[in-house]
Structure 1
Amino acid sequence: MAAEPAYTWDNANPHATDQLRHLTAVLDPPTVAGLSGLGDLAGRRCLDVGAGNGTIARWLADRVGPEGRVTAVDLKPLDIPPHPRLRVVTQDVTAGDLPGGPYDLVHARLVLMHLPERLEVLGRMAGALAPGGTVVLHEWDCTHPLRVLTAPDQAAADLVTRANEALCALMTSRGARLSWSYEAHAAMEDAGLTGVTTAFGARSWRGGSEFCLLHLSNTHHLTEQLTGAGLTAEDLVALREVLMDPRLVLAGYPLYRISGRRPD
């Protein structure tokens, strides 16, 4: 029997802390803006799936008030600081029911796109909702090329493009679905959720910014895998330099926010 594809981003990797720090710096502002649109969270019961370093779980815990509670679940959660209204659960979300429930809000960010069992997990997320509860997903559209708007020279632009293509191919080989962001809307409706809506947006990032630091961290997190995908050690050295060059400007991946509600 063939081995299951390994998850691309392993929190046990020594570079995971930096990778998640840059990721949250990029994604927490739009995530918070999207979740804030749900209104007053006081008293809500919330589940954050794939919580990572826990920044969004703790943000939720700050807002649910003394009558609310938040559960953060991750296969390998990092050291999430304690919070009186936050419970951290170590669990593989592909292997059974989600912990606790029912919930008024179930959130996942950049999780389901990486899981071959994404439809089953989405079904469990919908099933964990209380009547009237909401599922919110945040997913990058990685079918949209990482566009180089400006670069020190054409060779640098080509290297960034080639490295991103290698990264996306690696994720695909490990079970990721790069088009999941815009497929999730229909999947939510198929899961029985109603009032499904999708919003998305993107912005530019200059060399040395958090988005470029994230990609720089990725080159350390996945050095062996990227060299196995055709990049040389010299390529990685040059790539790390250009990602810090302010003459580089990238158009980031569009971030989709997809939400749907369990009928009352």
Structure 2
Amino acid sequence: MSRVAAPPPSRVFGDRDDHNSEQHRLLSLAYDPFTFERLARTGVGPGWRCLEAGAGNGTVAVWLARRVAPTGAVTATDVRPSGVPAAPGLDVVRHDIVRDPLPEGEFDLVHARLLLRLLPERRAVLDRLVRALKPGGVLQIDEFDATCAPSLRAPDLAGHELYRTLMTTKNRLMAGRGVDIAWGREAAGAMRRAGLVDISSRRRLELWTARSPGLRLLAHHTRHLRDEFVRAGMTDRQLADVRALLSHPDFRAGSYAFHSVQGRRPGEAA
């Protein structure tokens, strides 16, 4: 795998490390336990070779490195991999999954979380991840279906309307940047069409409260994506009101559906 990638394209969430580090921290708090549970079910252990594509802050890559030690290895890739810590058996590579070379037939396990939904080239990237598997290797894709995350309880009717405005505007601006907000529910079918077998899918839903990482992440987005929201028609006053609403002890919302899908490349078992 090349160590020097071409400059990455502009990303939906930009390149500000302060914003992205907080985003990755909240995503890890929210979804690492479910991701780890699903990965453990693959049997990943000593001697396995793993690829973590779009490694973010590296929590999943480090967890995998500990599982495959002392004889296995993990390659963690990202367009900006500076947030991935060093760990024994972990190789961190700056890599654009859309444009840079990826070895074929090399990995027992490939994992990507909340990556493909962001890429207009997601189908082609999925095919590349499948080809990176050894025969019998397992691909796990963890993705949102963000089409429905309703407010369930708010201090007043205006709170429900404000939350609906936030979510509608966010989905519209994400879709305008090539994000597939429903990719989570489409991933299983896409993996089957890419040639994988033994498809297994689990969906996680939760109740969001002011303490939930999911609502704290939405509040963070009002700052992280502030310029995008304003261009889409929201005001700074509305965004401030959103933050107050999301931190209100009486507010409740249904989470995004989080899909974890596994499939195996035909051939001998890993």
TM-score normalised to the size of structure 2? Answer: 0.92
- Which of 222, 242, 245 aligns to 1:219? It is 222
Structure 1 residue 224 displacement after superposition: 0.5
- For 1:187, the equivalent position in structure 2 comes to 190
Contact between 1:47 and 1:71, CA under 8 Å: does it hold in 2? yes
Letter in 2 for 1:84: P
- For 1:39, the equivalent position in structure 2 comes to 43
Aligned to 1:246, the other structure's residue is in SS state coil
Aligned to 2:81, the other structure's residue is in SS state coil
- For 1:157, the equivalent position in structure 2 comes to 160
Q: In the TM superposition, what whole-angstrom CA distance separates every residue of 1:97-134 from its partner, at most 9, and x where no partner exists?
A: 32586000000001001101001111110000011100
Aligned to 1:14, the other structure's residue is in SS state helix
Mark the CA change 1:160 to 1:99 in structure 2 (over 3 Å): closer, same or farther: farther
Aligned to 1:15, the other structure's residue is in SS state helix
- Which of 83, 91, 98 aligns to 2:102? It is 98
Mark the CA change 1:244 to 1:138 in structure 2 (over 3 Å): closer, same or farther: same
Contact between 2:104 and 2:131, CA under 8 Å: does it hold in 1? no
Which whole-Å CA distance do the structure 1 matches of 2:82 and 2:199 have between them?
A: 32
- For 1:245, the equivalent position in structure 2 comes to 248
Which whole-Å CA distance do the structure 2 matches of 1:100 and 1:10 have between them?
A: 30
Letter in 2 for 1:237: A
Letter in 2 for 1:162: T
- Which of 191, 204, 208 aligns to 1:205? It is 208
% identity of equivalent residues: 39
Q: In the TM superposition, what whole-angstrom CA distance separates every residue of 1:32-60 from its partner, at most 9, and x where no partner exists?
A: 11111112422110001111100100010
Contact between 2:21 and 2:83, CA under 8 Å: does it hold in 1? no
Comparing 132-141 and 173-182, the one that deviates more: 173-182
2:37 is the counterpart of 1:22? no
- For 1:52, the equivalent position in structure 2 comes to 56
Aligned to 1:242, the other structure's residue is in SS state helix
Which whole-Å CA distance do the structure 1 matches of 2:231 and 2:223 have between them?
A: 14
Unaligned runs of 5+ in 1: none
Which whole-Å CA distance do the structure 2 matches of 1:33 and 1:56 have between them?
A: 11
Mark the CA change 1:76 to 1:233 in structure 2 (over 3 Å): closer, same or farther: same
- For 2:11, the equivalent position in structure 1 comes to 7
RMSD (Å) for aligned C-alpha atoms: 1.5
Contact between 1:12 and 1:76, CA under 8 Å: does it hold in 2? no
Letter in 2 for 1:82: A
Q: In the TM superposition, what whole-angstrom CA distance separates every residue of 1:220-262 from its partner, at most 9, and x where no partner exists?
A: 1100100111111100111111111111111100111111111
Mapping for residues 161-180 of structure 1, pairs under 5 Å: 161-180=164-183
Unaligned runs of 5+ in 2: 1-8
Mark the CA change 1:13 to 1:161 in structure 2 (over 3 Å): closer, same or farther: farther
Comparing 178-187 and 84-93, the one that deviates more: 178-187
Structure 1 residue 7 displacement after superposition: 2.4
2:79 is the counterpart of 1:79? no
Q: In the TM superposition, what whole-angstrom CA distance separates every residue of 1:80-104 from its partner, at most 9, and x where no partner exists?
A: 2110111111111000332586000
TM-score normalised to the size of structure 1? Answer: 0.94
Contact between 2:153 and 2:251, CA under 8 Å: does it hold in 1? yes
Which whole-Å CA distance do the structure 2 matches of 1:90 and 1:219 have between them?
A: 29
Which whole-Å CA distance do the structure 2 matches of 1:177 and 1:49 have between them?
A: 18
Contact between 2:78 and 2:96, CA under 8 Å: does it hold in 1? yes
Which whole-Å CA distance do the structure 1 matches of 2:211 and 2:244 have between them?
A: 10
- For 1:230, the equivalent position in structure 2 comes to 233
2:131 is the counterpart of 1:127? yes
Which whole-Å CA distance do the structure 2 matches of 1:49 and 1:98 have between them?
A: 10
